[in-house]
Structure 1
Amino acid sequence: MKKQILLLASVIISTLAMAQDKPHFGVRGGFSSASMKGDAVNSLQNLLDFTNGAISTTSHSGFFGGGYVNIPLSKELSVEPAMYYTQKGYTMTGKLNIKGADFLGINGKAQLNSQYIDVPVVLKGTMGGLQVFAGPQISYLTKASLHTTAGALGFNVVNSTSDATSQFNRWDMGLTGGIGYQFSNGLNITAAYDHGLSKVDANQNLNSYNRSFKVGLGLNF
């Protein structure tokens, strides 16, 4: 991972040397919808004995925010490094498998809440106000917590939160890309998809990967 970080730093420094115009700084924030793909369901299923076939997963809604610098290479092309705080994770719910107690309607829920620092470096093409961008992204996990609940007859009988940071890989290398629109007053809107390439578990044995979708509002200074 150190090689990837050094490579991104070299790209940014080289881009600054090639800049054709003054860099533009800005801030951006908005909505994020994250999930995991792969063996994530199987790994969280070990926490609660869910009935086979009665499991459903949903994405985790959160927010992201941070700053960026846009470095023009030409009138239509620029490089944009950024740094964002992003909430990720996912939720799994299902009916608990307790023999002879089906009438109680016992259910369980496991929610993973992850907090990352995302550092994307994208190549951006601009056609009028329309923008298209893509590039690599390095993410660092600052904290992960696991919230588990279980209930019966509408009442919660289990409600606990535990620190799960040590169970996950701190670093995540991925790709990001999307579209946006730059208004003449400095405001911009973006929609991006992040595709994690690193296994999220600490031992990197499970094929579980981060996925997230972001919609943001930005402002150039």
Structure 2
Amino acid sequence: MSRVHDMGGRFGDGPITPEDEAVFEKDWHGHALALNLASGALGQWNIDMSRHARECLSPKDYSRFSYYEKWMAGLADLLVEKGLVSEVELETATASGPYALAERQLKGERVAAVLSSGGPSLRENTELPRFNPGQAVQTRTLARNEYVEGGHTRLPAYAAGKTGHVVLCHGAHVLPDTNAHGLGENPEPLYAVAFPAQSLWGDAAAEGDEVILDIWQSYLSPA
């Protein structure tokens, strides 16, 4: 089974047509991004947890919310789940008292440094790469988390059970499937894998085109 967020290759959503070069379509979008970054700086969750929180929105809400509305809804759920704010505080926009994590607030003078540093997921190699550039590989048949039923994974459903070839290895990176659920980083080799576009999309794709996806080693087997 898949969640509503796994939309790759779905018919009926129309083309993507950027209208201008604006960084944010609406002013509040910038505030939403800032609030997510400031909340993340409190250190109570990681990027994979925040992605999973957005995936866990109800299908009805996920379908009707805009991009940054999804961000804000996922953030609200995380803040309550981690005990940082209560539902009453969110509903009334009032604080009940001082907070233990107040000293970790992201102040204006630190924003540029935080944004430029990002959240690197590269780690030292703890597992040797099993695959080499040019080698044929196949993704696991089902795009699912092997550790947590219904959990977070970065293998899209449209690429499950497909055969491609390794382009390169990026080194060892944090495994989202465990990191999103507090089960540790468990870094493993991450590969750029090329798939013939028609093997993913059928005749809707142009012959000779390919799609390159970043795929973790545990998602792959020799073809």
Q: Give me the TM-score of the superposition, normalised by structure 1.
A: 0.23
Q: Give me the TM-score of the superposition, normalised by structure 2.
A: 0.23
> Greater share of helix residues, 1 or 2?
2
